[in-house]
Amino acid sequence: DEIKIGDILRILPGESVPVDGEIIQGSSSLDQSIMTGESLPIDKEIGDEVFCGTMNLYGAIDIKATSLGENSSLQKLIDLVKAADEKQAPTQRIADKWATWLVPVALFIAIAAWLFTGNIERGVTVLVVFCPCALILATPTAIMAAIGQATKYGVLIKSGEALETLGGLNTLVFDKTGTLTYGNLAVSDIISLKDDLDEMDVLKIVASCEKLSEHPLAKAIVEKAKEAEIDIEDPLDFKMYPGKGVSCKNSFGHVYAGNSKFLSENNLDVNVDSQLNQLKHEGKASIIIALNGEIIGLIGLSDVIREDSKDMIQDLHDLGTETILLTGDNTETANYFASQVGIGKVYGNLLPQEKLAWIEKLKSEGKKVCMIGDGVNDAPALKTADVSVAMGSVGSDVAIEAADIALLGDDIGKIPYLKKLSNSTLFTIKANIIISMTINAVAIVCSVLGLLNPVTGAIVHNAGSCLVVLNAALLYDRKFDDSIKKIDTENVEHSHYHFHNDGEHSHSHDGIKIIDEIKTDNGIKHMHIHKHALNRQSCETYHN
């Protein structure tokens, strides 16, 4: 509250940027994933803009505050989520469409039977058999069974409406970082430019120089060297150049590692454009390594694609579903990752409001849209989509709260399973409605003809209700995909899922979380999650 526009703030490594501003001193690398979803840190120097809520990773920077409070980029993002929530139209349940005319018809037939036959018992029997108990049970019993099964497989479905809507979707929109990928940097390429140095030599040289650096790229390089069981020596005369690179001396000689601008500033001839362009085309960050005044190699780093992303996209295509990638990463990076998993339509360099605009555009074209994401920047789009899915482990609290469904184990491969489950649930609901209406119709005719009395009518009526419940119960243990495994409960003592929604109630004792949530017409108001394991207890509470 004490910060004013024009104030100068110093942001140290590891600190969040408190306001939107412009760098006036220093340089660094910032994690902007909260705002843009970009997987790689972004180098910033004097004159560059920084956003509220982003993380300073490397060097100290001085910024001049340019916008505060409700005018900040983070507050605008929050406002987008609120606006999207207010625009969301309530979903009409399948059974509700039938129930609107059921009671008037029942009364009309009962009165008509009494008047035409002169026997009030027949009119009463019509009312008994026409009581819509089976119809009322048609939807919630199927929803309860489906939610129970989903919980067994590590999928949290917050509302029955989301499950019903999911079956009618024809377009799935994905975020990239943390959704199709793990959101963690890893070394993908080691390129040696010297005949007398192999890839492991290059890795050992650069790992020694990066050993004392806190930069995410440096940590990924050191981790790769440890995986390769390389003995990483301590560097001498180590120096960091924020936003540029590092230099040191080790047993090999004098080492520089960083971007092309950094090496050029140190009078090194950087003639590796073809290799740099290839790495850039593949959406990878690159570090150039120089030893004793000569370029010896490059390191490529990239976000890692989830193993099941490609198969999941193919399964969705087989189900007749269109897939689209919306990401804050640059278009070249987005196109490369999309080609790796099989997504045809790609839109990159998108801010949160632009993702939201794309979702609205798709809906205006008559498409039923599901958005799948994990970050704060995805929250407005998640709220706007017909149905939304968030990654439950790596996802932000804001994204999880905004979404209708959460994947507790971040298993993106369960998306086709969810669609199959929804399709089967809709089929079961419709079958239940047909069963209940058929039994009612036959019973009404028998009641009017005097073949049933109130007692036998009640028996027939309850038999119909039992059939509906039994049919719905079959959903709970139905197998939709042999590759989908139940969540690991080996180290879990107890778990329980508790679900309230418009008079519905369901629970499951299989899973890794205890969830208590209250859902009103305005959405999730309170969701309480407990995790119980053998040597661990934790509690998370989300409020809307």
Q: Determine whether 175 is an active site residue.
A: yes
C-alpha to C-alpha distance for 45 and 40, rounded to whole angstroms: 16
Residue 478 has which token pair? 């139905």
Beta strands in 348-398 (DSSP E): 369-373, 387-391
**HEC profile of 249-272:** EECCEEEEEECHHHHHHCCCCCCC
C-alpha to C-alpha distance for 531 and 497, rounded to whole angstroms: 11
C-alpha to C-alpha distance for 497 and 499, rounded to whole angstroms: 7
C-alpha to C-alpha distance for 139 and 428, rounded to whole angstroms: 8
First to last CA, the chain: 24
**Among the residues of 118-212, which ranges form H helices?**
120-130, 133-152, 160-166, 199-210
Active-site position among 175, 315, 410, 411: 175
C-alpha to C-alpha distance for 179 and 39, rounded to whole angstroms: 11
Residue 227 makes CB contacts below 8 A (sequence gap 6+) with none
Angle at alpha carbon of residue 486, lines to 485 and 490, rounded to 5°: 120
Neighbouring CB atoms inside 10 A of 293's CB total 12
C-alpha to C-alpha distance for 338 and 350, rounded to whole angstroms: 15
Helix (H, G, I), strand (E, B) or coil at 210: helix
Torsion from C-alpha of 119, 121, 122, 124, nearest 10 degrees = 130
DSSP of 284-339: -EEEEEEETTEEEEEEEEEEEEPTTHHHHHHHHHHTT-EEEEE-SS-HHHHHHHHH
C-alpha to C-alpha distance for 390 and 158, rounded to whole angstroms: 11
Neighbouring CB atoms inside 10 A of 415's CB total 27
| Catalytic (active-site) positions | 175
